Each structure stands twice: as C-alpha cells, then as structure tokens.
Amino acid sequence: MTPILSLRHLCKTFRTAGHEVQALVDVSLDVAGGECLAIVGESGSGKSTLASLVLGLYPPTTGEILLEGRVLPATRTLVHRRAIQLVQQNPASALNPRRSIGASLRLALDVHGIGAPAERRSRVAALLADVGLSADLASRAPSALSGGQRQRVAIARALACGSRLVVLDEPTSALDVLVQAEVLRLLARLQAEHGLTYLFITHDLAVVRNIATRVAVFQRGRLVELAATEALFTDPRHPYTRRLMAAVPVITEEEKAMRDRLAWEDA
Amino acid sequence: MNTLEIRDLRLSFRLPVGTVEVLHGISLRIARGERVALVGESGSGKSVTARIILGLLQEQRGVRLAGDIVFQGRNLLRLPPRERRAVRGTRISMIFQDPTSSLNPVFRIAPQFREVLARATPDLSEKAARARAAELLDEVAIPDAARVLDSYPFQLSGGMNQRIMIAMALANRPALLLADEPGTALDVTIQAQTLDLMRKLVVDHGTSVLFISHNLGVVREFADRTYVIYRGRIVEAGPTEAIFHDPRHAYTRALMAAQPRITGGGLPDIPERSDDFLAPLIEHEAAP
Amino acid sequence: MRRTARILAANPLSLLGVLLVSLVIVGAVFAPVLAPFPDHRGAVVDFTNFNKPPSATHVMGTDVVGRDLFTRILYAYRISLLLAVVVLAIAVPIGVTLGLMAGYLGGWWEYAIMRLTDVFLSIPPLVLAISIMGVLAPTLVNGMIAVTAMWWPWYTRLVYNIARGEKVEGYVLAAEVIGASRIHVMFREILPNCIPAVLTKMTLDAGFVILIVSSLSFLGLGVQPPTPDLGSMVAEGARYLPDSWWLAVFPGLAILVAVFGFNLIGDGLRDVLGADR
C-alpha cells in the first residue's frame, strides 16, 4: 500500500545574518494511512520544522515530500491544503478573538466550497457535535470558552474540510491534566471514526505511549530512532531515547521501576 | 517551629461585575527545611498563594485578604509595607517558571546578581559581589563564572538561565524559597537536572520550600509533603508518599488517573468535572 | 455593545464628551431649524446691526457686517463636521489598507510602504498642507486633499504595528493552513483586531481635523468667505480684540467644545476597548 505521506531525504537549513542552522538533516520516513506517528524530541530537535515542511509553510532546502505517492510542490494549491490540516498547541491563540466560533469553523467550508452555502450553518453544528460541543457555541466568542472547549473547536476546524492527514503540534501540552485526558480520548475516537492519520508532535512520552502507533525520535535535526510504540518502550535502542525516558517525571511505582531499569542498563 | 504557617487564608477580587472568591480559606504549614508541594490545575489558586506570601498582591486594587500568614513568628499580612518589602528577596525568595523572562534582557548577569546581593548587604563592593556571585554560580554547577557573569541572558541557554535564577534565589540564604513551576518551560532532560540541583542545594542549606506545580510526577520526586488544591480549597494533605500511594480524595484520584502512564494502559477515561471534587478536606496522618 | 455603553456611562468625563459632541452634531444637522437668522450664513450685510455685543436677539452678538454669530457658528459646524467625516472616510481606509499590507505581507511591500509613510510623517502636517494648497488653489476641496494627504500615514503606522503582532498569532497560521487568501487573512482575520485601536484614533482625530482645518482657515488657506468657518471667524475677530471680544471668543469656544468633546470620547474608548484586548 502507498504510504499517505513520505519524506525523502528532507533537509532544512535556515540562514540568518551570517549564521547557518541545520534544522533538519536528511530525514526520510513513511507514514502509513490510519496510523498515529509520534514525532518526539526536545527543543531544537527539528520536530516543529518537520511540521512546517509537511504543512508547506516553507519549502525544504533539499529533498521531497510525497502525498499519496505524488510529490508536493513548493507552493501548495488549495487541493493540497485541504488534504493536510493542523491542530496547534495553544488554543488561546489559535482562534481569532474577534470572530465567532462559527465563523472560524465556517472558513474552511467557504474556502474549499464544501456544501451549499445555505447548509454550511448546519455543517458547522455537525462539526461541533462531532467534538462533543453544543451547536449554540457557534455564535460565541472564543473568550467565552474554556481552554478544553477551544481546543475541541480547533480540532473541529482541522476536520472541517475532510482531511485525512492531521498534524497535531503539542495539542494537549497547554491543557490541564483532566482536560488533556478528555482531549486525547476525543482525538483517539475521531481517528477511529474518520480513519484519520495523525502526525503527533510532542515531547510527552507518557502521552506517546498511550496514543501512538509508531514513534520517531529526533535529536538536533536528525531522526535517531524509529520504532513501533511497544518496541520502543520495552527496548529503546538509541542512547538519546533512553535519556529522554529516564528524565520523565512519573507517579507510580511501576513507572519508576521501568525508568530505573533503563537508567541501570545505561550505567 | 514552622517556618511558614498559613491559616484560613481567603482572597477575593472586587471587579466591576462583582466579587470573585479565589481562595476559600486555605491552611498549610512548612517546617524548617521541609519541602512542601502545592499541586493543582490552572486557576486553582496555587500561584496567587505564592504571590500573597511574597507580598506582591497586597498592593493591588480591589484585593481583599483575610487570615494569617505567619513567617518565622511574624504575620506577613499585618506587616507594614516597608517591612514586608524588606523580607522579599532576603528571607523569602522566589523562582519563576520561565527563567529567560525573569532575568532582565538588557543587563549582563553580573549587575543583576549584585542587585540581588545588595538587598541583604547594601554596602557590598562590586568586586566582592562578583566574587560572591562566582561562588554561588559554582554551587549550581556553572564553572566558568567569569564568562557567564559578563553575558546577557539571551546569550545563555534556558537551562543555564534557570540555574542562574536558582543561584540568585538562594544567594541571600533565604529561610523560605517559593518555586512556581520551576523548569516547566524547559526540556525534560534539563528539567530533571535542574530539580536535582535545586533539591541538593535546599537540603544543604536547610531551606524550606513551597513548590508549586501542576505536574504530579515532579511533585512526587521533589516534595516531602503535598497539598492538593482545587478551586481555592485544599482537598487533600499529607506526606507525599502517602498521597501517591493511597490518594483518598476524589479529585486527587482523578488527577492521578488522568495522567497517562509511561508504562501504557491506554488513555484515561476521567470526567473533567464532578461534584465529588468539592468534597471536604482529607488529611493523612503525619508520618511518625 | 451594552457593556461598552455601561462602562462609558461609569466614566463621567467621556459622558461629558458624548454630550458635547452630541450638541455639536445636533447643532450642525438642525442648523436651518435652530439658527435664528438662517440667511446670515451667506453674504448678507446688515449695517444697522453691525458689531453688536451679545443680547437677547443675538445671543453671541453680531459680526462686523451685522450677521448673527450664533447662526454662523452653527453653519460653520456643518462644514467642520463634513470635513472631518470626509477626511477620515478617505484617509482611514487608505491608511489601514496600506498598514495591513505592510504588516502582513512584509518583505518588499513592508519596505516600500513604511519608507513612504516615514517621508510623510517627517513633514510637519501644517507645512505639508500649506504647500499643497500653495500649489493648488486655496479651496475647500483642496483643503480636504491637503488634510487627507497628511492624515493616512498615522493609520498606516498604527495598523502596521498591530498587524505585525497579530501575524504570528495562531489564528493567522490556521487560516493560512486552511488555504484562505491573503485578502481574507488581512481583512477578515487581522483587521477586526485592529478596529478598536482605529476607532479610538478616529474619534480623537475628528477633533484634530477640525482644529487643523480651522488653523488653515485662520491662515486664509481653508474655507473661503462668505462660507462660515470657525478658523477664519477667529482670525477675523482677533483683529477687533479686546473691544469686540465676542467676535473671536465664541468661535474659539466653539472649536474648543468640538475638539474637547471628541477627545474625551476617544480617551473613554481607549480605556474600554484597550481593556478588551
């Protein structure tokens, strides 16, 4: 089967006033349809650059990105935009404070001409219902919503144009832990119901363990380890992966034992 | 004797739309050299508590405070503003979440350090301040103090800035350190190192710590005792081990259950709200 | 909206501003009804009544050719308000559009637009207006062109600064990822976030436009006789000070009332809308 997304020898170098920063160095990987691929790393690992390249916010320095086997051009057309959507980290900034929730959701429908204009209102209501929100939130301003509700709206917006691939950029790290739990369950449910493929960018390994199909670990712009989630967490191969795991703050004895085992094996 | 004792602290804000109660009478105590955590979600009142102890909220308009905050035998809420300000930065100091924004970007580290030291020793010479700062930086495992002191904060990494903040916070050997989500803005590997370092230093100096966090894992690793706060009320209190081993309050249980485990077990299914979360305080017996 | 009204009401100074501006607007709009001698707005001469101090018939006295001053002030308000509305109606859309383009599109656009703005802002406004009207004839239309030419750059700069900040917000990225056009992002996403600041500045500026137009007329470069204008009335009246004090004082007060009123509203709006952001 053709992977939904393929990255081939992707490099990105930023040049600023005399400096040259290699944000991404020769990254190749395939994302299979319907999977949740976690992109894990710390700041400077290149995981955000990867997301921007996939979304076409700027072109790679070298290498190419293939969507369902076809090379994506440097300048994306509306069809390409429609195919890949994004959920951002900070729900407070992701929704325009001066536009209603309904207007923010409707934008995708208007831009891509989805449904007859007259029935878009009911589509917005359906989108809200899909993420577990009431339809009368459509007329509200973002400031009237809680952080969790705003993130649900942002998720609904990403689904509005029927994309199959969604880039989730730290979608729960700005949320409280109880809210995070609900949003993660929502993401898992939507993935199953709509057959979505997720590129889940995060630094939180505990979240990764429970939602990802496979994990790609990045360090300083390089892909250092790529493995199925179970395999990675039972037998992490790369020293950096082990270091990341050893640093996770844990709450149960069982987790502590796992962490200590990794640390002991390292020593 | 307790370094800090808060009794029935109430806080409300008077706004044009009415009065908003933020703290509904919280009580907590920190013994000498004890590390105490206040854990809760955003808006629970954990950060304002630290700001009140530091005296940063008292001067704001529309703030109403009641209760007692007794620090080393003196009630901070009844102290005249001048004396309250004298305590800040000398006997009580604070570490904030984002180290880079808590340092002034337009000054080098050395003059900022001198300012901190001058709060306790006003007649300190520049040379003496520099020497003392170098000693303190050495304590937080920054060996090339000379270079760091002549740098601007933006020339240093986030982890480095965080360590400088810790060195500054402990520079005047405070009796109480308030740490508001320290290291949250940092990468996990740096965060772990930072917390280890902080723990070692406060143990060495016998400093009492109020550690404010939303991260249960971090709290477990750092604190001797823990208070769980929910919507302006302490809902569970006790030794950290006891709370993590046997959480009794519905809210504490929900918090723990909602945290995904690195060992797996699937996504937690926990309601965001429940009436049980408002149940009265449960206190664990103190360890003998 | 109701909240805005309530907060304005709680601020007595802005309420005073609303009152003053309403008086000015009512006076201007209903001038034909309210003015005791409507035909005095034009070139009328009444030598039996010239240069009379305030009295029951002429509450603000009469001018050197015998025209009722109160009537002429009401009609002068019509011209002043019309000028303020027309100037802002042209300058604001131009300034705002250029500001959005410079702030959001960046690059070459930003460079060209902002340098042009700098050039205009570096010339003292009155000097620019005087030179434009020196080249063209000193008529009402040219007065408007002159004032408009010096007004738009302020809006460009204001909107540019806001747009540059909003550009990095998540909602702009979201719209781009969806595939929304640049026009949409500028006018439907970023512009609504500039509106409070623009509205505040417009209210403040309405007073300043009146003041500038009056200044030009005072110099003989604005509205030409016999059309009544506050600035030229002050200029003319000043020659008869201090004996015929009413000739300069009442038109001067009239300018003060309008400018002061708009400024008080502007300050009030700044507090309300500023707190909103």
Contact present, A99 and C189 (Cβ < 8 Å): yes
- Is residue C180 in a domain? yes
Query: Nearest residue of A to residue C182 by CA position?
Result: A111
pLDDT classification of C141: cutoffs 50, 70, 90: confident
B139: Cα separation from own chain's centroid: 20
Number of domains in chain B: 1
Domain extent at residue C262: 25-34+58-276
Domain extent at residue B193: 2-99+178-283
In C167-245, alpha helices (H): 170-178, 182-184, 191-218, 230-238
Number of domains in chain C: 1
Query: Nearest residue of A to residue C175 by CA position?
Result: A107
Contact present, A6 and A54 (Cβ < 8 Å): no
**Residue whose pair of structure tokens reads 């505990």 in the numeric block:** A206
Tokens of C143: 């007065």
Contact present, B206 and B178 (Cβ < 8 Å): no
Q: Is C37 left (phi over 0), alpha (psi -120 to 50) or beta?
A: beta
pLDDT at C10 over 80: no
Query: Nearest residue of C to residue A162 by CA position?
Result: C178
**Subunit contact C170:A97, Cβ cutoff 8 A:** no
Tokens of B97: 């979440």
A210 touches chain B (CB under 8 A): yes
d(CA C76, CA C27): 10
Tokens of B171: 């520079």
d(CA C167, CA C220): 45
For residue A99, the chain C residues in CB contact (below 8 A) are 171, 188-189, 192
Q: What type of residue sits at position A249? A: P
- Sort B127 into a burial class: Cβ within 10 Å, 0-12 / 13-18 / 19+: exposed
Contact present, C221 and C130 (Cβ < 8 Å): yes
d(CA B219, CA B223): 6
**Residue whose pair of structure tokens reads 């409507």 in the numeric block:** C38
The pLDDT score that the predictor gives to residue B29 is 94
**Residue whose pair of structure tokens reads 């689904």 in the numeric block:** A159
CA-only gyration radius of chain B, Å: 20
| Nearest by CB: B188 against A230, A244, A251 | A244
| Nearest by CB: A107 against C169, C175, C195 | C175
Q: Can you point out the beta strands (E) in A183-266?
A: 197-202, 214-219, 222-228
The pLDDT score that the predictor gives to residue B286 is 66
d(CA A38, CA A215): 5
**Subunit contact A252:B272, Cβ cutoff 8 A:** no
d(CA C247, CA C226): 16
- Closest Cα of chain B to A157: distance in Å? 22
Q: In 3-state terms, what secondary structure has residue C189?
A: helix
pLDDT classification of C274: cutoffs 50, 70, 90: low
Q: In 3-state terms, what secondary structure has residue B176?
A: strand
Range of lowest pLDDT (A108-122, A250-264, B208-222):
A250-264
Q: Which residues pair with B94 in a beta bridge?
A: B178
Query: Nearest residue of A to residue C180 by CA position?
Result: A111
- Give every residue of chain B whose pLDDT is below 70, as ranges: 286-288
d(CA B23, CA B10): 5
d(CA A208, CA A215): 8
For C73-101, the pLDDT digits (tens) are: 888 888 888 888 888 999 999 999 999 99
- Is residue B185 in a domain? yes
For residue A82, the chain C residues in CB contact (below 8 A) are 179
Whether residue C242 is preceded by a cis peptide bond, meaning omega within 30 degrees of 0, is: yes
Start-to-end Cα distance in chain B: 17
pLDDT classification of C275: cutoffs 50, 70, 90: very low
**Subunit contact A248:B259, Cβ cutoff 8 A:** no
Tokens of A180: 């995070």
Task: Between B86 and C227, name the one with better pLDDT.
Answer: B86
Residue of A95, A101, A107 to mutate, interface with C, max C Cβ within 10 Å: A107
Contact present, B221 and B213 (Cβ < 8 Å): no
Q: What type of residue sits at position B200? A: K
H or E element at residue B38 = strand B35-39
In C219-245, alpha helices (H): 230-238
| Nearest by CB: C174 against A82, A94, A161 | A94
d(CA B205, CA C44): 94
Orientation of helix C191-218 relative to helix C140-166, angle to 10°:
150
**Subunit contact C174:A154, Cβ cutoff 8 A:** yes
- Is residue B151 in a domain? no
pLDDT classification of C138: cutoffs 50, 70, 90: confident
Q: Which of A245-254, C33-42, C136-145, C180-189 has the highest mean pLDDT?
A: C180-189
For residue A127, the chain C residues in CB contact (below 8 A) are none
Q: What is the pLDDT of chain C when averaged over all its residues?
A: 83
- Is residue B124 in a domain? no
Which residues have C-beta within 8 Å of that of residue A252, sequence separation ≥ 6? Answer: B244, B261, B263
3-state helix, strand, coil in chain C (%, to 5): 75, 0, 25
Contact present, C143 and C133 (Cβ < 8 Å): yes
- Is residue C69 in a domain? yes
The pLDDT score that the predictor gives to residue C76 is 84
**Subunit contact A247:B189, Cβ cutoff 8 A:** yes
- Closest Cα of chain A to B242: distance in Å? 12
**Subunit contact B260:A243, Cβ cutoff 8 A:** no
pLDDT at C139 over 80: no
- Is residue B27 in a domain? yes
Contact present, C225 and C235 (Cβ < 8 Å): no
**Subunit contact A157:C177, Cβ cutoff 8 A:** no
The pLDDT score that the predictor gives to residue B16 is 74
**Subunit contact C178:A104, Cβ cutoff 8 A:** no
Give the burial string for A126-157 (b: 16+ CB within 10 Å, else e): ebbebbebeeebbeeebeebebbbbbbbbbbb
A250 touches chain B (CB under 8 A): yes
The pLDDT score that the predictor gives to residue B75 is 92
The pLDDT score that the predictor gives to residue C8 is 64
d(CA C73, CA C233): 9
Contact present, B25 and B14 (Cβ < 8 Å): no
| Nearest by CB: A42 against B189, B215, B216 | B189
Q: What is the pLDDT of chain A when averaged over all its residues?
A: 92
For residue A85, the chain C residues in CB contact (below 8 A) are 177-178
Contact present, C262 and C9 (Cβ < 8 Å): no
CATH of the domain at B200: 3.40.50.300
- Is residue C239 in a domain? yes
**Subunit contact C178:A81, Cβ cutoff 8 A:** yes
| Nearest by CB: C179 against A88, A112, A157 | A112
The pLDDT score that the predictor gives to residue C3 is 65
- Is residue B142 in a domain? no
Q: Is C139 left (phi over 0), alpha (psi -120 to 50) or beta?
A: beta
Tokens of A94: 């992701």
In C48-106, alpha helices (H): 69-100
pLDDT classification of C123: cutoffs 50, 70, 90: confident
C115: number of Cβ within 10 Å: 10
pLDDT classification of C276: cutoffs 50, 70, 90: very low
- Closest Cα of chain A to C103: distance in Å? 17
Average pLDDT over residues A133-143: 93
**Subunit contact B260:A249, Cβ cutoff 8 A:** no
- Is residue C46 in a domain? no
d(CA C154, CA C229): 26
Tokens of A156: 């609904």
- Is residue B250 in a domain? yes
- Is residue C47 in a domain? no
- Sort C201 into a burial class: Cβ within 10 Å, 0-12 / 13-18 / 19+: buried
Q: How far is CA B134 from CA A67, A146, B13, B89, C17, in A?
A: 55, 46, 43, 19, 60
Average pLDDT over residues C190-196: 92
- Which phi and psi (to 5°) does residue A216 adopt? -115, 120
**Subunit contact B262:A247, Cβ cutoff 8 A:** no
- Is residue B130 in a domain? no
The pLDDT score that the predictor gives to residue B191 is 84
CATH of the domain at C257: 1.10.3720.10
CA-only gyration radius of chain A, Å: 19
Tokens of C83: 């000028």
pLDDT at C277 over 50: no
| Nearest by CB: A181 against B190, B214, B267 | B267
d(CA A22, CA A29): 18
A237 touches chain B (CB under 8 A): no
Q: Which residues pair with B95 in a beta bridge?
A: B179
Q: What type of residue sits at position C262? A: F
**Subunit contact A185:B267, Cβ cutoff 8 A:** yes
- Is residue B67 in a domain? yes
Torsion sign, CA atoms B18, B20, B24, B27: negative
Q: In 3-state terms, what secondary structure has residue B55?
A: coil
- Is residue C130 in a domain? yes
pLDDT at C38 over 80: no
| Nearest by CB: C174 against A86, A97, A112 | A86
A85: Cα separation from own chain's centroid: 9
